[in-house]
Chains A and B, each alone.
Chain A
């Protein structure tokens, strides 16, 4: 089956990239491998006919979140040796956590209910995954969905409130004030004496200066 070959390709890529995220020496390379992990995950989701989720994963995580991540990692001067310090000391904790996650995954994925839906159901050609998902979100799961949205909003407001720092004495532009400015607020037209009279006066001054030399 073509789909199966593709699945193993994407799966191998995901695992390889995920391993490289934690083994790469350069933090920037680690971030780029994380991007690759997301993209190959999106590929796997696409094979499951979940095109909406796959494309949203790319759009949100790869297109926005990871760009900001990359932004931060590029700005920081991370000393990788310092990060590796105490690797052996924390290794048992890490292994324990990894083992725990592994056991959980086996439990969940090994359950008979999961095995029943191992292959995606076959749909007709005009089946729209996006439409189905939208229908479910806004009917059966509307409360959990709205709740999640509110939690995100609160997190966003909290993040802004925590980092917002008003400094005294900064100058800023008020664009609407600038647009409202009219000619008479800024410009004063004065009457200048005629050119000849002014020129004559200038000549007198200049010759006077020469005389002083």
Chain B
């Protein structure tokens, strides 16, 4: 439907110059590809703007929580700050350390950003607003998020620096451990929804009672585990041991400057937004309104989706302002000795619960 409208618009626009028929002859065979690229841009462009303003929001929120104003010099209320930061990073010199593995050193930031963006392909923003309606969407997400660690490890190793290497090692162990807990939490979700398709998972939470139908109620422990594991997977504070400014300077990206650093930064924030979107889809009913009555269900689903994502993102920032960094052994203990047993038990609980008539979801 939307495709036809956009085609019509192009037709109208190019007909102003009388070029439509000529152009369409060339475009027609490639149109499915062009349409996909348009959809990708429609996801990536707002995402990048979101990333830019998430950095500003983070600095403002941290500022207010620490009773200081945060950035307020560039533009009204500091609103141009992210753009200025971006321009600054763009013009900085890219320094490649002697002894670094040049090819991998340049590939690493690209790899981590590419993985962070590719995962967005299966995220549904509305009933039909989805780039690729894949049947095994949940599995695709799990496998792509597990690839994110390569960017970090390769960056840490190729920099040929001790601090980078320590950061990479920490990060690799941390991400591999928390992936398991995350996977088991999602097993509960797919048990409840009986589908791996993200759209079907959201539709499974629709039962006429609004937010009572969302999975965060029966799967509350899994919601908590998933979100905390998500914070650990994105290497955000209080699990930011791979950066650990006070111990290993900046961890895996010590040696990066300019755009190399900026790309790691973009990847980290895109991953944060992704985790927020996924928590929304899996546990908070995606695009569904919190109450299925008149004023709420008239508002477009995209609004609810973004609103819920915003709440989850705020939690990320709140965590960062509130908690001191974990010690490494405490981090490992939390992952292996608390989360994994808890999720394993809860998988069995949910599977049994679903066989009883008391399963209402």
Closest Cβ–Cβ distance, residue A77 to chain B (whole Å):
13
Chain B residues contacting A130 (CB-CB under 8 Å) are 135-136, 139, 196
Contact A55 B135 (CB under 8 A): no
Chain B residues contacting A67 (CB-CB under 8 Å) are 149-150, 153, 172, 175-176
Task: Given A52-B136, A129-B135, A130-B136, answer yes or no on A58-B147 (Cβ-Cβ < 8 Å).
Answer: yes
Tell me the residues in window 39-74 of chain A with beta carbons closer than 8 Å to chain B beta carbons: 51-52, 55-56, 58-59, 62-64, 67-68, 70-71, 74
| B322 touches A (CB below 8 Å) | no
**For the complex, what is the distance from the CA of A55 to the CA of B169, rounded to whole Å?**
25
**For the complex, what is the distance from the CA of A68 to the CA of B135, rounded to whole Å?**
29
Instruction: Choose among A51, A63, A74, A128 the residue that contacts B146 (Cβ–Cβ < 8 A).
Output: A63
Chain A residues contacting B361 (CB-CB under 8 Å) are none
Contact B139 A56 (CB under 8 A): yes
Contact B142 A59 (CB under 8 A): yes
**For the complex, what is the distance from the CA of A62 to the CA of B157, rounded to whole Å?**
18
Task: Given A67-B153, A67-B176, A129-B135, answer yes or no on A55-B146 (Cβ-Cβ < 8 Å).
Answer: no
Chain A residues contacting B104 (CB-CB under 8 Å) are 32
Binary A-proximity of B134-155 (CB < 8 A = 1, otherwise 0)? 1110011011101101100110
Contact A129 B143 (CB under 8 A): no
| B179 touches A (CB below 8 Å) | yes
Contact B176 A58 (CB under 8 A): no
Contact A64 B176 (CB under 8 A): yes
| B333 touches A (CB below 8 Å) | yes
| A30 touches B (CB below 8 Å) | no
Binary A-proximity of B186-224 (CB < 8 A = 1, otherwise 0)? 000000000010000000000000000000000000000
Contact B176 A128 (CB under 8 A): no
Instruction: Choose among A68, A74, A128, A129 the residue that contacts B165 (Cβ–Cβ < 8 A).
Output: A74
Binary A-proximity of B310-340 (CB < 8 A = 1, otherwise 0)? 0000000000000000000100010000000
**For the complex, what is the distance from the CA of A55 to the CA of B144, rounded to whole Å?**
9
Contact A55 B143 (CB under 8 A): yes
**For the complex, what is the distance from the CA of A208 to the CA of B145, rounded to whole Å?**
71
Closest to B330 in A: A175
Task: Given A56-B139, A130-B139, answer yes or no on A28-B157 (Cβ-Cβ < 8 Å).
Answer: yes
Contact B135 A51 (CB under 8 A): yes
| A17 touches B (CB below 8 Å) | no
Contact B169 A71 (CB under 8 A): yes
Chain B residues contacting A70 (CB-CB under 8 Å) are 153, 172
Contact A55 B136 (CB under 8 A): yes
Task: Given A64-B176, A68-B176, answer yes or no on A129-B146 (Cβ-Cβ < 8 Å).
Answer: no
Please count how many residues in chain B sit with their CB below 8 Å of the partner chain's CB atoms: 27
Chain A residues contacting B172 (CB-CB under 8 Å) are 67-68, 70-71
Contact A59 B146 (CB under 8 A): yes
Closest Cβ–Cβ distance, residue B14 to chain A (whole Å):
28
Chain A residues contacting B147 (CB-CB under 8 Å) are 58, 62-63
Binary B-proximity of A68-87 (CB < 8 A = 1, otherwise 0)? 10110011000000000000
The interface residues of chain B, by DSSP majority, are classed as helix
Binary A-proximity of B169-188 (CB < 8 A = 1, otherwise 0)? 10011011001000000000
| A35 touches B (CB below 8 Å) | yes
Binary B-proximity of A19-37 (CB < 8 A = 1, otherwise 0)? 0000000001000100100
Closest to A172 in B: B329
Chain A residues contacting B146 (CB-CB under 8 Å) are 58-59, 62-64
Closest to B157 in A: A74
Instruction: Choose among A55, A59, A74, A175 the residue that contacts B333 (Cβ–Cβ < 8 A).
Output: A175
**For the complex, what is the distance from the CA of A105 to the CA of B5, rounded to whole Å?**
53
**For the complex, what is the distance from the CA of A128 to the CA of B176, rounded to whole Å?**
28
Closest Cβ–Cβ distance, residue A68 to chain B (whole Å):
7
Binary B-proximity of A150-169 (CB < 8 A = 1, otherwise 0)? 00000000000000000000
Task: Given A35-B150, A74-B165, answer yes or no on A58-B136 (Cβ-Cβ < 8 Å).
Answer: no
**For the complex, what is the distance from the CA of A96 to the CA of B139, rounded to whole Å?**
40
**For the complex, what is the distance from the CA of A63 to the CA of B146, rounded to whole Å?**
5
**For the complex, what is the distance from the CA of A79 to the CA of B321, rounded to whole Å?**
46
Chain B residues contacting A62 (CB-CB under 8 Å) are 143, 146-147
**For the complex, what is the distance from the CA of A75 to the CA of B143, rounded to whole Å?**
25
Tell me the residues in window 85-124 of chain A with beta carbons closer than 8 Å to chain B beta carbons: none
Chain B residues contacting A71 (CB-CB under 8 Å) are 153, 169, 172-173
**For the complex, what is the distance from the CA of A75 to the CA of B135, rounded to whole Å?**
39
A-contacting residues of B (Cβ < 8 Å)?
104, 134-136, 139-140, 142-144, 146-147, 149-150, 153-154, 157, 165, 168-169, 172-173, 175-176, 179, 196, 329, 333
Known pairs A58-B143, A68-B176, A71-B169; list 4 more (Cβ under 8 Å): A55-B143, A58-B147, A63-B142, A70-B172
